[in-house]
């Protein structure tokens, strides 16, 4: 009996390693969760006039629906991930998705601005929890050598939401009213819940004896480097992305912002696909290549802006999308590799750094477009990317794969 049991266990544990196929249905369910998260966050930006009119507030106050969402993620990510370390993973994932269903339903039906703000904060809290879980859950569904590819699939919802979901949601809101867009997201969340129950496996939380305190997790070799590179890279991205409209105006592309963002999003989808092909073999090299590609894109944009060269701007936007599209996968894979069993707490730290960068991008970019003007945006981003590149040097122990 003992021999048979051990043999059976060995065969069971070896089977996933022998199978090179990704568990696509489950990973796509995680990608759909990411899609809903990003769409919930970004949709108000395309519907500010309608939302403001519907709730009786200015567009500036309507814009705070995005801010309070980011605040919810920023405040909740690490405390929630820490408090729920011992919980089973799938029920926690379903709790986050259910939070989106509730928040988007309240938003769609809300009669007042205050209630809508509360709902948006709840949505942000759900996002902070979900982002802390997503990469770690995807990584646990496959053998170690396939974790990067699995995380790449789970992260595919981000560029797809930005490239396709936000424009589609904005169009729907313009045709049917802004509340319809949030109602559709509630419907998507309700469809996703049985999909997760059907295709996404459950995993136990961390055993009490294995839980490292947060201060020891951040001290793990390489994790601080990942967090620094994440903060600098995403801050550079948001300085440009948030203020892309004023940057494009001097080059005569101010009326084509939607097309520019679509091209960026499609390039980002290609970037995440290319990243998924090699992330498990060349993690550190891909991180450096992504930062270098983004830096070259900022140089193209910085040169093109004063010259008013639309062709160079299009080239810079495409290179920017290709380089940045894979960064969520790269940084989350690197943090999971550095943190090991504490991956979910490390992911919550990535979420916090990411949301700090979103807020910081709005503040820094807003200062720059006032003086010296939009022309400075790419060069400010370049300085940050140089700092991100320095964080990936061997001195700071950025996690690597065997081929690195």
pLDDT of residue 344: 85
Same domain membership, residue 217 and residue 204: no
pLDDT of residue 2: 34
Same domain membership, residue 218 and residue 363: yes
pLDDT of residue 16: 41
User: Any idea how long the chain is?
Assistant: 404
Tell me how far apart the alpha carbons of residues 376 and 15 are, in angstroms, rounded to a whole number. 54
Any idea what the CATH number is for the domain that residue 326 is in?
Answer: 1.20.1250.20
Contacts of 299 by beta carbon, 8 Å cutoff, 6+ apart: 378, 382
Burial class (CB in 10 A: 0-12, 13-18, 19+), 292: middle
Decide if 293 contacts 323 (C-beta within 8 A): yes
Terminal-residue alpha carbon distance, the chain = 44
pLDDT in tens, the chain (404 residues): 333 333 333 333 333 444 578 999 999 999 999 999 999 988 887 787 889 999 999 887 888 888 899 889 989 999 999 999 999 999 999 999 999 999 999 999 999 999 999 999 999 999 999 999 999 999 999 998 899 999 999 999 988 887 788 778 878 887 889 999 999 999 999 999 999 999 999 999 888 766 777 778 888 889 999 999 999 999 999 899 878 888 988 888 888 887 888 899 899 989 999 999 999 999 999 999 999 999 999 999 999 877 768 889 999 999 999 999 999 999 999 998 898 878 889 999 998 999 899 888 888 888 898 888 899 999 999 999 999 999 998 877 778 775 67
Same domain membership, residue 273 and residue 177: no
The total of structural domains in the chain comes to: 2
- Of 187, 212, 206, 16, nearest to 92 (Cα)? 206
Same domain membership, residue 186 and residue 144: yes
Tell me how far apart the alpha carbons of residues 165 and 36 are, in angstroms, rounded to a whole number. 9
Any domain includes 16: no
Q: What is the CB-side half-sphere exposure of residue 198 using CA atoms within 13 A?
A: 9
Tell me how far apart the alpha carbons of residues 393 and 162 are, in angstroms, rounded to a whole number. 31
Any domain includes 6: no
Note the Cα 375 to chain centre separation in Å.
27
pLDDT of residue 209: 63
Same domain membership, residue 168 and residue 218: no
Contacts of 84 by beta carbon, 8 Å cutoff, 6+ apart: 92, 129, 205
pLDDT of residue 402: 59
pLDDT of residue 98: 98
Give me the phi and psi of 113, to 5 degrees please.
-65, -40
Q: For the range 312-315, what are the long-range contacts, defined as Cβ-Cβ under 8 Å and sequence gap of 24 or more?
A: 313/248, 313/251, 313/253, 313/260, 314/260, 314/263
pLDDT of residue 1: 35
Which domain range does residue 370 map to? Answer: 212-396
Same domain membership, residue 204 and residue 216: no
């Amino acid at each position: 009996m003992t021999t048979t049991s051990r043999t059976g266990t060995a065969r069971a544990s070896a089977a996933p390693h022998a199978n090179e196929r990704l568990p696509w249905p489950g990973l796509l369910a995680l990608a759909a969760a990411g899609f809903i998260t990003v769409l919930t966050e970004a949709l108000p930006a395309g519907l500010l006039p309608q939302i403001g009119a519907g709730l009786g507030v200015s567009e500036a106050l309507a814009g705070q629906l995005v801010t309070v969402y980011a605040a919810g993620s920023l405040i909740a990510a690490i405390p929630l991930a820490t408090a729920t370390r011992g919980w089973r993973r799938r029920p926690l994932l379903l709790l986050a998705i259910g939070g989106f269903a509730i928040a988007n339903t309240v938003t769609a039906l809300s009669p007042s601005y205050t209630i809508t703000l509360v709902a948006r904060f709840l949505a942000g809290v759900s996002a902070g929890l979900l982002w802390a879980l997503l990469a770690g859950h995807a990584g646990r569904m496959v053998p170690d050598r396939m974790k990067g590819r699995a995380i790449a699939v789970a992260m595919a919802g981000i560029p797809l939401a930005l490239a396709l979901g936000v424009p589609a949601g904005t169009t729907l809101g313009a045709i049917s009213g802004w509340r319809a867009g949030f109602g559709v997201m509630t419907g998507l969340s309700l469809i996703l819940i049985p999909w997760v129950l059907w295709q996404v496996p459950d995993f136990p939380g961390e055993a009490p004896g294995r839980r490292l305190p947060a201060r020891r997790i951040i001290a793990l070799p390489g994790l601080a480097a990942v967090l620094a590179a994440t903060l600098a890279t995403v801050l550079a991205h948001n300085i440009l992305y948030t203020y892309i409209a004023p940057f494009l105006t001097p080059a005569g592309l101010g009326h084509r912002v939607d097309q520019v963002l679509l091209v960026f999003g499609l390039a980002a989808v290609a970037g995440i696909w290319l990243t998924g092909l090699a992330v498990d073999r060349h993690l550190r090299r891909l991180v450096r290549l992504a930062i270098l590609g983004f830096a070259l894109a900022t140089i193209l944009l910085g040169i093109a802006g004063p010259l008013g060269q639309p062709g160079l701007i299009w080239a810079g936007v495409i290179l920017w999308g290709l380089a940045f599209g894979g960064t969520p996968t790269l940084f989350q894979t690197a943090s999971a590799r550095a943190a090991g069993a504490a991956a979910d707490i490390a992911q919550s730290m990535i979420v916090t750094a990411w949301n700090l960068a979103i807020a910081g991008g709005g503040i820094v970019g807003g200062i720059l477009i006032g003086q010296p003007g939009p022309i400075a945006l790419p060069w400010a981003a370049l300085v940050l990317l140089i700092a991100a590149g320095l964080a990936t040097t061997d001195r700071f122990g950025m996690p690597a794969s065997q081929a690195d």
